[in-house]
Structure 1
Amino acid sequence: MPDPAGADPMNTEPRKATLTVFVVKPLEIDEPDRCTGHSADGLTQYKVDISHDGPEHVIAPGGREMFRAFLTQAPFSSADRTVGLYIEGADITGTHTPHEVEQLADALAESADQLRALSRDLARILAQGED
Structure 2
Amino acid sequence: MSTEPRSVVVNVLTTKALEIDEPDWCVDPHGGAQFRPDLTHNGPEIAASFETSLGIVTYLRAWISHAPYAALADEPLPIVAVELDAEVVTLDPASLRAFTATTRAHLDALDRLADEAEHIRGEAR
TM-score (norm 1): 0.52
Matches within 5 A, 1:31-110: 31-39=22-30, 42-60=31-49, 64-80=57-73, 81-90=76-85, 108-109=103-104
Cα distance in structure 1, aligned partners of 2:45 and 2:37: 22
Let me know the Cα RMSD of the aligned residues. 2.9
RCO higher in structure (CA 8 A, sep ≥6) = 1
Q: Distance in 2 between matches of 1:21 and 1:111?
A: 54
Q: Unpaired segments of 5 or more residues in structure 1?
A: 92-107, 113-131
Q: Pick the structure with more strand per residue.
A: 2
Q: Which amino acid aligns with 1:22?
A: L
Give 1:25 shift. 1.3
The total of aligned residue pairs comes to 85
AA aligned to 2:40 is: S
Alpha-carbon distance between aligned partners in 1 of 2:29 and 2:78, rounded to the nearest angstrom: 15
Deviation (angstroms), 1:47: 1.2
CA distance in 1, matches of 2:79, 2:106: 18
Aligned to 1:65, the other structure's residue is in SS state: strand
* CA distance in structure 1 between the aligned counterparts of 2:39 and 2:12, rounded to whole angstroms: 19
| Structure label with greater radius of gyration | 1
Aligned partner of residue 34 in structure 1, secondary structure: coil
Q: State whether residues 65 and 90 of structure 1, in contact with CA within 8 Å, keep that contact through their aligned partners in structure 2.
A: no
Amino acid at match of 1:84: I
Deviation at 1:64, TM superposition (A): 4.3
Structure 2 counterparts to residues 108-127 of structure 1, below 5 A: 108-109=103-104
Q: Name structure 2 gaps, 5 residues minimum.
A: 87-102, 108-125
